[in-house]
Amino acid sequence: MSLYYVQKLLYQLNRDPAVRRRFEQDRDALLDEYELTDEERRAIEEGDIGLLYVMGVNGQILMHYSALLGQSWDEYIAAMKEGVKKHGPVRAGLYTLLKDRNV
Amino acid sequence: MSLVFAGVCSHAPGITGRAGRADPAVRDEFYAKLDEMRQRLEAAKPDALIVVAAEHFANFFMNNMPAYCMGMAEQYEGPIEDEEWLAIRRTEVPGDKDLSRRLIEAMLGEIDLAYAEEWKFDHGIMVPLHFLTPRYDLPIIPVNVNCQGPPLTPLARAYQFGRVLRKACDAQPERIALVGTGGISHWPATPDSGTINEEWDREFLRRFLANDRDALISYTDADTFRDAGQGGFEIRTFIAVAGATEGATGELLFYAPIPIFAVGCTVATMNVQ
């Protein structure tokens, strides 16, 4: 539902060292500022890259969160594939463009 | 003076960040052709370099997404990504605020162009600069075309943007170079990373090098998404360069799919006169 805010949080985390510091030191308060569903919040807290991908987070944003978590490139790719296996196809966002637009 | 150089090249982060994992022979030839592009750029003796890029949510997000934006700062910095991840050291990059301002003022007569006085370069600009201006001593003027968060500017508008950019460049006393950076077909940062549609790429490049406007702007986004991935939307940067060099054809210095770089690696220059 709030894919926009999941992506916004990760976008700000990627670009702003101050947000990264808050993510390390004051995570609950930081996450409270975004309109996240319980599932989205849990996926971020648990670093569940596969689920975040399935939710529709753009890879151009997600790959940096993966790197921040210390994952290698191969681990990042594997996590997305694992996510699709576990949770099914991507639900929303850019990667469902053709489905959403029915073209 | 006028536009004195124009070209295009790939910018995928793997080009530097995963350099050690590519076939060394193909990779080194690609790097050599990027260096040839650098030499051609330097031979044109530019006072500034405009980089038309397709950034990836480094500065622009869906809270306020411009279709077109030009930087207007005295200096920039990059990369915004982790230095080790991209294998490029963070550095300051000079801009030219006065030239940016004049270009923007000239273009606003015909295009609704946004401007930005803050801009942290991501791999979309830093990878090309790493090869083309490795000493970071040439003033850079960044331009972003939104190729990531639909709705996107139509291809015909991207071509027209290039035309208007060219007109603005030709009205300035400086010698200006132009580099577009983007796709071509690729599925970056997804489970399909490494997939490359070489046939599609070569047909696109044929249209680009011939500067065949009608053929270039005939792709629909649905076709591009299906055949060339979401990364294919970045053809807008190439099409803007074609618009800026309308009437000129191009020379392909290099094209080869390098899957670990996640893109068909491309180097080309346009015969600007």
Beta-bridge partners for B255: B266
pLDDT at A1: 53
Substitution target from B56, B84, B190 for chain A, most A beta carbons within 10 A = B190
Residue A2 pLDDT: 83
The total of other beta-carbon atoms located within 10 Å of residue A1's CB is 12
* A67/B82 CB distance under 8 A: yes
Contact between A60 and B57 (Cβ < 8 Å): yes
In chain B, whose CA is at the least distance from the CA of A52?
B190
pLDDT in tens, B12-68: 999 999 999 999 999 999 999 999 999 999 999 999 999 999 999 999 999 999 999
What tokens appear for A53 in the block? 């991908």
CA distance A56 to A93: 5
B33 touches chain A (CB under 8 A): no
Closest Cα partner for B201 from B17, B10, B32? B10
Q: Could you give the number of structural domains in chain A?
A: 1
Give me the interface pTM, i.e. the ipTM: 0.93
Asked if residues A90 and A56 have their Cβ atoms less than 8 Å apart, the reply is yes
Decide if A60 and B56 are in contact by the 8 Å CB cutoff.
yes
What is the average per-residue pLDDT within B214-222? 97
Q: What is the pLDDT of residue B1?
A: 62
Measure the CA–CA gap between B255 and B265, rounded to whole angstroms.
5
The CA distance from A25 to the nearest CA of chain B, in Å, is 20
Pairwise CA distance, residues B186 & A78, whole Å: 18
Return the structure tokens found at A100: 């959403």
B199-231 CB burial, b ≥16 within 10 A, e <16: ebbeebbebbbebebeebbebebeebbebbbbb
Question: Domains in chain B, start-ordered, CATH in brackets?
Answer: 2-270 (3.40.830.10)
- Collect the ranges in chain A with pLDDT lower than 50: 101-103
pLDDT one-digit tens code per residue, B90-128: 999 999 999 999 999 999 999 999 999 999 999 999 999
pTM given for the model: 0.96
pLDDT at residue A100, as a whole number = 54
Q: Does B80 touch chain A (CB under 8 A)?
A: yes
CA A28 to chain B, closest CA, distance in angstroms equals: 23
Task: Assess B191–A contact: CB distance below 8 Å, yes or no.
Answer: yes
How does pLDDT run across B185-217, given as a tens digit for each residue? 999 999 999 999 999 999 999 999 999 999 999
CATH number of the domain enclosing A42: 1.10.700.10
pLDDT digits (tens, 9 = 90+) for B125-179: 999 999 999 999 999 999 999 999 999 999 999 999 999 999 999 999 999 999 9
The domain of A83 spans 3-101
Q: Does B16 touch chain A (CB under 8 A)?
A: no
